[in-house]
Every structure is written in structure tokens, then in C-alpha cells.
Amino acid sequence: MPRIKSLLNGEASNVRADIAREMIKLGVATALDPLDTSEGEGSRLPKYQPAAVPEPSWEVRVHNGAQGTKTLCIRMTLPNVTVDYFGLPVDANRRHEWRGGGRYLNGFGREVPADIVKLYTRQHKENPSLRGFGWTLPPGVSTGPSNETQSFIQKEYDNAVAHGSVPYSGETKVIG
């Protein structure tokens, strides 16, 4: 649809092509350049400008749990989100890699600054009472023979699948 400016009221508008030609022929309108923004301010979208990526703030602090437990953590704060890491200091920047990509396993989705990891490591060593349960089993978790048997069966099955000796049938059976 061509853009025209009416000479009767000075209004710029988009009209059907056949109507625009007739109005211009009759001398009651003039054609406007489609890229002209002098008429009808605000009718065009602003130029794209990428948003600035916010920089997180990092701190090592003591997290107060719901049951009154206190746990040492690394906290990342962005304008609208806060994420805490409670794991071992050596795993703070652990990364899982695969061909074509990878990801951090700390829950932040990015690398923790080295000075924060160093501070967290020192605090973690100095305060054993503030260490979380990220690397120990909580009380009541079974480590009995049924878990060991299931683990053994799963490892055997995974090994058979990896070597192509288990055809896919749509069903899985555990024998034993």
C-alpha cells in the first residue's frame, strides 16, 4: 500500500494503490517516500539495539535454611534472580563438555570468579559446621544390598547397550 499525503487536510496515510493513483492524478494528494519518516512520527519501529547483559554480583555467605540450618554458599545475584551454590569448592567451576558445546554444573550457567572460589574454599575448610549435605547421604537413605543389586544390573544393561548386544524391543525386562 503506497503512502500518500492529502493536500486537503495534510494527513499522511496508507491507501490502496488504485485509490492513491487517482488521488495523485486529481491533484488532491502527493506520493510520499516509503522510507520517509518526516510524516507520521512514531509510525516506524525504532532501530534494533541489543540489550546490555547484566553483570552478576558474587558473594560468599551463610544461608539460613528453613529448619534453622546454616550452610555456607556462593551467591550470584542478577537484577531479577538469585542463585546459591552449596557444593564442594573443587566443583564450583566444574564443566561438562561434549562435542560442540558444554555447560557448567554449578547452577549458575557461567564460571564463578577465581577470587570467590578461593574465598569459598578457605571458608569451607575453616568452618566444617557450615558445610552442606551435597556430598554426603542424609540420614535414612538406604545403601543396602537392593541398591547395590540395582546398580549392578543397570551397569550390565548399559554395557550391553553400548556394545550393541541388546536389541530394542520396546519393552525392558530385568532378569535376576
The pLDDT tens digits for 40-94 are 555 567 788 888 888 999 999 998 887 778 889 999 999 889 999 988 898 899 9
Secondary structure (3-state) at 41 = coil
| Per-residue pLDDT at 140 exceeds 70 | no
- What span, in angstroms and rounded, lies between the C-alpha atoms of 60 and 81? 16
> What spatial distance separates the first Cα and last Cα of the chain, rounded to whole Å?
75
What pLDDT is stored for residue 48 in this prediction?
86
Q: Is the model's pLDDT at 13 over the cut of 90?
A: no
131 pLDDT band, cuts 50/70/90, is confident
d(CA 108, CA 78): 11
Within 10 A of 29 (CB to CB), how many other CB atoms are there? 23
Residues 94, 141: contact at Cβ < 8 Å? Answer: no
With cut-offs at 50, 70 and 90, classify the pLDDT of residue 171.
Answer: low
